Amino acid sequence: MKNILDNLNSNQNKIVKIILSDSNIDIKKIVVRPIIIKSNIKWQIEKFIGAQVFHANVEYQEILNLPFDSFKQITIEKEGSTTIFSKKKQSYSEKTVNNNIKLDIKAHDKIKNYIIKEGEYIPALVELGIFNKEGKIIKGMNDKFKQINKFIEIIDDAYKTIIQKEITILDFGCGKSYLTFLLYHYFTKIKDIKANIIGYDIKKDVVSNCNKIAQKYGYDGLKFVLSDVKKDELYQGKIDMIVTLHACDTATDFALDFAIKNKVPLIFSVPCCQHEINLSIKKGGDFDILLEDGLIKERFSALLTDSIRAEVLRAKGYSVDIIEFVDFAHSPKNLMIRAKLNSKKKSLDRVTNLVEKYKFSQKLYELQKD
Ligand SMILES: C[S@@+](CC[C@H](N)C(=O)[O-])C[C@H]1O[C@@H](n2cnc3c(N)ncnc32)[C@H](O)[C@@H]1O
């Protein structure tokens, strides 16, 4: 122990990160790093207990009271060198290697506080190939991790003020279901709510694989159903939320249509490609300049599609906002339609006028216009 404390206290101002891992207590891991709060250096302690992560910002002296002895490995990363202490029987052996790490202390409000942290062990996400067994994001899955984490953050925002014991959610076009599994983890393990979640997809192999993983990890309330959401009969009980993440083309429209018809109170929908308007729109008025060049026409049509979806939802009693859900670099399809049923209905005339003028087809409008 003394060698660990000595290491911490020498060149303390160069510490980048301290990691305590491989424990024999409830706290599976502790990560400590310096941060800046109101121009002063504090130390942020992250404790990983079960599926949850707890944070505290403390003075340096408090770090020295952490239960180092209960962890078999202590890594002290400093600018220029990393020392690993490994416990064998009662004492720690010590190994130091050089590194190129530069100390970059971030202000507290600049630290990304993901709901699901890298390093958290969620077995289903390991099986799906988002994390490796050490909880690190697998190469190439960073964008997907950012997308699903941000999706959950937005839902978390909506659920801060809602108290319920049970929730039913449908995911349209769930695919490999990274989001669906994370949603289940979030509600059952973090919010402690009984969750019934159904993922729909048209691909037999992905549906069967997702059901196998859900069963393997005892996710009793999570089911995957082989369906074409454009024509098959879907769940008819009370539904609290509809989600879609990149459900192909008009599959998004069928999800929104289903939500409207079933008076689903909350919708979180990130559309995918939008071909319909681009393929059908004709010149007809003031917007003709936007239809001259293929690239602009395609982007304009995509934006018009999502604006019409929002307007149809408003006409059916939803309050709607469209938000950028992740940075463009993590996905070019980065708009989310967030809608909440509140019963105030707007007119659909603005959309009807556009359809009459520019002669395009838009599936949600067609499904809802009567
Ligand atoms: C781009 S993937 C997105 C998958 C997943 N939501 C994600 O973000 O990782 C779109 C998924 O929608 C599914 N899909 C497309 N049309 C569908 C339909 N009519 N009914 C059900 N699923 C559909 C596809 O099979 C595919 O798995």
> Mean pLDDT over residues 289-315, rounded?
96
For tokens 């890594």, the residue is: 75
Q: What's the 200 CA to ligand 1 centre distance in angstroms?
A: 8
Residue 38, pLDDT score: 75
CA dist 152 and 170 (Å) reads 15
CATH superfamily, domain at 148-368? Vaccinia Virus protein VP39 (3.40.50.150)
What pLDDT is recorded for position 108? 64
Can you give 267-279 as a three-state secondary structure string? EEEEECCCCHHHH
Residue 34 C-alpha to ligand 1 middle, in angstroms? 42
pLDDT digits 0-9 by tens, 216-248: 999 999 999 999 999 999 999 999 999 999 998
Identify the top-confidence range among 42-46, 114-118, 279-283, 341-345. 279-283
* Distance between Cα 246 and ligand 1 center (Å): 7
Q: What is the end-to-end Cα distance of the chain in Å, rounded?
A: 74
Beta carbons of 304 and 287 less than 8 angstroms apart: no
* Confidence label for 118 from pLDDT (cuts 50, 70 and 90): low
Q: 310: CA distance to ligand 1 center in Å?
A: 21
Average pLDDT, the chain: 91
Q: Quick check: CB of 151 below 6 Å from ligand 1?
A: no
d(CA 255, CA 170): 9
* Pocket test residue of 170, 174, 234 for ligand 1, highest count of atoms within 8 A of CB: 174
Q: What is the pTM of this model?
A: 0.74
pLDDT at 122 (0 to 100): 82
* Residue 50 CA: distances (Å) to CA of 11, 26, 53, 119: 33, 7, 8, 12
Domain ranges across the chain:
2-110, 148-368
More confident residue, 192 or 75: 75
* Dist CA 152 CA 245 (whole Å): 12
Q: Mean pLDDT, to the nearest integer, of 331-356?
A: 93
| Ligand 1 atom closest to Cα of residue 228 | 20
pLDDT reported for residue 37: 82
Range from 57-61, 211-215, 235-239 carrying the lowest mean pLDDT: 57-61
> d(Cα 277, Cα 281) in Å, to the nearest integer?
5
Average pLDDT over residues 248-275: 95
